[in-house]
Amino acid sequence: MLEQAQRILKDVFGYDSFRGRQGAIIERVASGGDALVLMPTGGGKSLCFQVPALLRDGLAVVVSPLIALMDDQVATLEELGVAAVALNSTLEADQQRDIAERIRRGEIKMLYLAPERLVQPRMLAFLQQLKIALFAIDEAHCVSQWGHDFRPEYLQLGQLAELFPEVPRIALTATADMRTREEIVNRLHLQDAERFLSSFDRPNIFYRIVPKEQPRKQLLAFLAARKGDAGIVYCLSRKKVEEVATFLSEQGFPALPYHAGLPAELRAYNQKRFLNEEGLIMVATIAFGMGIDKPNVRFVAHLDLPKSLEAYYQETGRGGRDGLPADAWMAYGLQDMIFLKQMLANSEGDERHKRVEQHKLDAMLALCEETRCRRQVLLAYFDEDLPQPCGHCDNCTDGVQTWDATEPARQALSAIYRSGQRYGVGHLVDILLGRDNEKIRGLGHQHLSVFGVGNALNDGEWRSLFRQLVARGLADVDLEGYGGLRLSDSCRPLLRGEVTLQLRRDLKPQQSAKASGSA
Ligand code: ADP
Ligand code: ZN
C-alpha cells in the first residue's frame, strides 16, 4: 500500500517523499480507517486525503468551508491531471446537472463542496447511490462553537458516520488545543479515528516582540538587515496598510498594499506580484494570507497586535515555509490592547462567546509580556510541551530583565483610583510625575496625595508599567468611556500588600532595534 502511495506521490504530485506523518495517515485512510489530523498550516494536509482518494475506488468527497480554497485545490488537481470538481453556489443549474452526470458515470475522482451543500437531503441521497472512496472534512475545527470559525452546518456532518458507516472519514485542522480536538471527535463521531498530532513548532522562525515606541522607525530598523527579502507586514486598519505601504516604498523598500477595501482586481494583481516577484513586501490586513503559499517569505512583521495566539501563530507561520530562517517580529503597545478590548466589548455575540475571545486576547497579551521562552509559551498554548527553552527567540537570546515593581504598581493603581478611574495613561503619568499643566489644574489633581510621588520612574517606564498592568489584568480599560483605566478585582492582593509584582524591563528602543534577530 505504502509503495503504491509513494508512486502516486511521485507520479501525480511530483514529490519524492512524504512529509512528517503523511505516509502513516495515508495508509490509515487508504485502508479504510478514520483519522483525525492535526497539522499546522502549510504542513501538507491536502495530500493526506488526496493520495488515499486516488488509492481507493469511488468518489472522494471533500468538505471545505472556503470557496476560494476549494477552487484553488481543484485547479491544482486539474493541472496534475486529477479529475476534480467543486460544486458551489456560483455554478448555473445546467453546469450542476452536468457535474452530477459526470459523477454518475464515474468520471470524477474528487468532489469538493461546502458543508451546507453536502448535508442537503438530496445531495446525501445522491451520494448514497454511489461508491464513495472517503470523506475528508477540512478545517474541522469549524465544528467547535468556541472557536471564531464556528459553522453551524458543520454540526450536521456528524450524520455521515451513520449514513455511510463503511466509508472512511478523515478530519483535518490546524487548530490544536485539546478542547477543540475533543469537540471534533465528539461532534463528528470520530471516536474510532486514529489521531495524528504533528508538532506545531516552527523551529526556523525566530520570534521577537518589542514594545511599540516609534513603530515606523522600529520597523525600518528591523528591515534594515533584510533588504531584498520578501515579507509581510500586518496592520489592523486599511488606512494604516496604505500609509505604511507608501512609507516603506518611499524608504526604498518596495511594498504593496492588500486589504478587503481595495478593488478585487488590484488585490489579485498585488497578490500575484508578491507571489511571483522577488523581494516585495506585502503590507496587509488579516484579509491577506488565506491559502497563500509562498515558500520564501523571510519575515512577518506585526505593527498591531493580533487578537489571539491562534491568529499570531497562523500569521507568523506564513514565514519560512521553505524551512530556511525567517523572522516573526512584532511591536505592540497599550493602545493596541485598549483598541482590541473595545472592539471585543462592542462586538456582536453573546457573553459566553465574548468571554472566550477575551481569554484568547489575554493569552496573546501574556505572550507579549512573557519573561520565559516565547516558543515554550506559544506551544504550551497549543497543549504541546517543549521541554527546554528554544534558544531561538528574543527572550532566550537576549535574556529578560525583570524588576520589582510592587511599590510603583501600587502608586499607579492608587493614581487610577484617586483620580476617579476614568483617565488614560497620559494623564495618570502626569499625576505621578507631578506635572503642573492645564488639565491637572483644571481637575484639581495637583491636590491628590499621589501627585508627584512617582519620580523614581521616568515617563517611558511608567507607560511600560501601565501597559503591563493592563496586560496582566491588574487594571482594566473603561470600555464605555474613552479607554481610561479602572481597577480590576485582581489588583486587590497587590494593593493590600499580600503579593509582590515582578515586571519585564523594556529595552530602550535603540537597544531593541540593535539586538538582532536571526539575520
Ligand atoms: P495545509 O493544507 O496543511 O496548509 P497544504 O496541503 O496546502 O498544507 O501543503 C502546503 C504545501 O506543501 C503545498 O505547496 C504542498 O504542495 C507542499 N507539500 C505537501 N506535502 C509535500 C511533500 N510530501 N513533499 C513536498 N511538498 C509537499
Ligand atoms: Zn525561546
Tell the residue nearest (CA) to atom 20 of ligand 1: 44
Q: Residue 150: what pLDDT?
A: 85
Complete DSSP assignment for 117-152: HHTSHHHHHHHHTS-EEEEEETTGGGG-SSSTT--H
Q: Over 70: is that where the pLDDT of 518 sits?
A: no
**How many Å apart are CA 235 and CA 252, to the nearest integer?**
19
Based on C-alpha coordinates, what's the Rg of the chain? 26
One-letter amino acid for residue 431 of the chain = I
Which grid coordinates are listed for 146? 468556541
Model confidence at 358, pLDDT cuts 50, 70, 90, reads confident
Asked whether 15 lines ligand 1 (CB < 6 A), one says yes
The Cβ of residue 343 has, within 10 Å, a number of other Cβ atoms equal to 14
Cα atoms in the 13 Å half-sphere on the side-chain side of 130:
26
pLDDT of residue 43: 85
Does the pLDDT at position 431 exceed 80? Answer: yes
Q: Is the CB of 56 under 6 A from ligand 1?
A: no
Please report the atom of ligand 1 found closest to the CA of residue 48: 6
Top mutation candidate among 2, 8, 9, 15 for ligand 1, by most atoms within 8 Å of CB: 15
Task: Give the pLDDT of residue 291.
Answer: 65
Cα–Cα distance measured from residue 63 to residue 70, given in angstroms and rounded to the nearest whole number: 9
Looking at all shown ligands, the one closest to residue 6's CA atom is: 1
Q: Which ligand is nearest to the CA of 370?
A: 2
pLDDT surpasses 50 at 510? no
The CB of 321 under 6 Å from ligand 1? The reply is no
Per-residue pLDDT tens digits for 189-230:
999 999 999 999 999 999 999 999 999 999 999 999 999 999
What is the rounded average pLDDT of the residues 441-456?
95
3-state class of 168 per DSSP? coil
pLDDT band at 40 (very low <50, low <70, confident <90, very high): confident
Dihedral pair phi/psi, residue 518, rounded to 5°: -85, -10
Probe target for ligand 1 pocket from 2, 7, 25, 46, with the most ligand atoms within 8 Å of CB: 46
- Average pLDDT value for residue range 147-163: 90
Taking 50 as the threshold, does the pLDDT of residue 497 lie above it? yes
Task: Say if residue 426's pLDDT is above 60.
Answer: yes
177 is written with which cell numbers?
Answer: 488545543
Which of 6, 10, 19, when mutated, tests ligand 1's pocket best, judged by the most ligand atoms within 8 Å of its CB?
19
For residue 169, the SS3 value is strand
How far is the centre of ligand 1, averaged over its atoms, from the C-alpha of 191 (Å)? 27
Atom of ligand 1 nearest to the CA of 73: 7
Whether the CB-CB separation of 87 and 74 falls below 8 Å is answered with no
Of 430, 322, 403, 312, the C-alpha closest to 364 is 312
Which among 495, 303, 337, 360 has a CA at the least distance from the CA of 415? 495
Angle at the Cα of 384 from the Cα atoms of 381 and 388, rounded to 5 degrees:
105
> Does 22 contact ligand 1 (Cβ within 6 A)?
yes
Which residue's C-alpha comes closest to atom 9 of ligand 1? 44
**Which ligand 1 atom is nearest residue 17's CA?**
23
Cβ neighbourhood burial of 498 (10 Å; 0-12, 13-18, 19+): exposed
**pLDDT band for position 359 (50/70/90)?**
confident
Give residue-wise pLDDT tens across range 326-338: 999 999 999 888 8
> What is the C-alpha to C-alpha distance for residues 299 and 98, in angstroms, rounded to an integer?
45
Q: Within 13 Å and on the Cβ side, how many CA atoms surround 194?
A: 14
Q: Which helix (H) or strand (E) holds 283?
A: strand 281-284
Check pLDDT > 70 for residue 418. Answer: yes
* Atom 16 (ligand 1) nearest CA: 44
Whole-number average pLDDT of the chain: 92
Through-space distance between the first and last CA atoms of the chain, rounded to whole angstroms: 44
Given the CA of residue 18, which atom of ligand 1 is nearest to it?
A: 23
